[in-house]
Structure 1
Amino acid sequence: MSHLTPALYATLAEIVPDLHVHCVDPWCLIGSTAALLLGAQASAADVDVLTSRADAETLMAVWASQRETAFTPPDAGRFRSHFARFRFPGAAVEIMGALEVHADERWQAVSPGRLVLVGVNGLAVPVPSLDDQIRLFKSFGREKDMRHAEALRALTPAAFTIPVLSSR
């Protein structure tokens, strides 16, 4: 995909096969990388992967040698998950098992909603649908999330993929 940087492409090429092999439960990319994959005008400094808690634990074992143990995620008061960050050639990868967001004075599970598959050089990469990504970004509530939601709203219907998989 021409809108992916070489660094981001290299990271996806390395991690997506592992995610397909090692994750038992549905998983998907979220955040700026997911928005970029649907065609939004965005930049992505890392890859955010939403998984189950059990699959996050599995990935922590599989990628143990690449784990950044000293990293503390920003916005820890707003988000909680079974979290780990990993160094990969190109971009960091953040695993968020059973992600929750603090909203309306309580913790709420983050559900990706309907997933679509985006092809990246023969790899099937699940991301939330356009509408569900906008909903997620709005629920996260940070300024950068609102910018990503606006970038996704600017897409025309022909710019995103056809849904082929559902997590509901």
Structure 2
Amino acid sequence: MSHLSPALYATLAEIVPDLHVQCVDPWCLIGSTAALLLGAQTGAADVDVLTSRADAERLMAHWAARRESAFAPADDDRFRSHFARFRFPGAPVEVMGALELHVDDRWQPVLPGKLVLAGVNGLAVPVPSVDDQIRLLASFGREKDAPRIAALRALAAPLFSVPVVSLH
């Protein structure tokens, strides 16, 4: 895919087959990589994978040699999950099993909503729809997500509009 950097492309080409094999429950990519896969004009420094807790465990076992054990995610007061970060040659991969967001003094599950499939190297990669990605990023309440939200909104905007003229 021409809009993916070679490094990100290499990482996705390596991890997506594993995700299809190792994950029993539905999974998807979220964050900047998901936005990029739908055509948003943004960059991606890592790959965020949303899974069930059980599938996160399976991936932790499968990719054990690649795990960055000393890494601690930011925003741990806002997010919690069964988390692990893995080193891949192109970009790091962060797995979030049963991700939750702290809102209104309680923990709420992060639900991806409607999933659509993006193609990478002939493989189907599930990502939230444009509208659901906007909803997710907005719910996170982080300044760093504002440019991604704008890029996703640009995708949802019509390319042109036809004026409606009334002859009455």
Q: Report the TM-score when normalising by structure 2.
A: 0.92
Q: CA deviation at 1:106?
A: 1.2
Which runs of 5 or more structure 1 residues have no equivalent in the other structure? Answer: 160-168
Q: Which residue of 2 aligns with 1:136?
A: 136
Q: CA deviation at 1:146?
A: 2.1
Q: Which residue of 2 aligns with 1:165?
A: none
For 2:69 and 2:138, locate their aligned partners in 1 and report how far apart those are by CA, in whole Å.
Answer: 30
- Distance change (3 Å), C-alpha of 1:46 and 1:64: same
SS of residue matched to 2:21: helix
Task: Decide which moves more: 25-34 or 99-108.
Answer: 99-108
Q: Which residue of 2 aligns with 1:85?
A: 85
RMSD, aligned CA: 1.3
- Following superposition of structure 1 onto structure 2, how do residues 86-105 of structure 1 map, counting pairs within 5 Å? 86-105=86-105
- Following superposition of structure 1 onto structure 2, how do residues 1-168 of structure 1 map, counting pairs within 5 Å? 1-156=1-156
SS of residue matched to 1:96: strand
Deviations 1:26-55 (A, max 9, x none): 000000000000111111000000000000
Task: Decide which moves more: 141-150 or 120-129.
Answer: 141-150
Letter in 1 for 2:27: W
Deviations 1:113-155 (A, max 9, x none): 0000001120100000011000000001101112211110011
- Distance change (3 Å), C-alpha of 1:152 and 1:86: same
SS of residue matched to 2:7: helix
Q: CA deviation at 1:105?
A: 1.7
Which runs of 5 or more structure 2 residues have no equivalent in the other structure? Answer: 160-168
Q: CA deviation at 1:157?
A: 6.4
Q: Report the TM-score when normalising by structure 1.
A: 0.92
Q: Which has the larger radius of gyration?
A: 2
Moved over 2 A (4+): 156-159
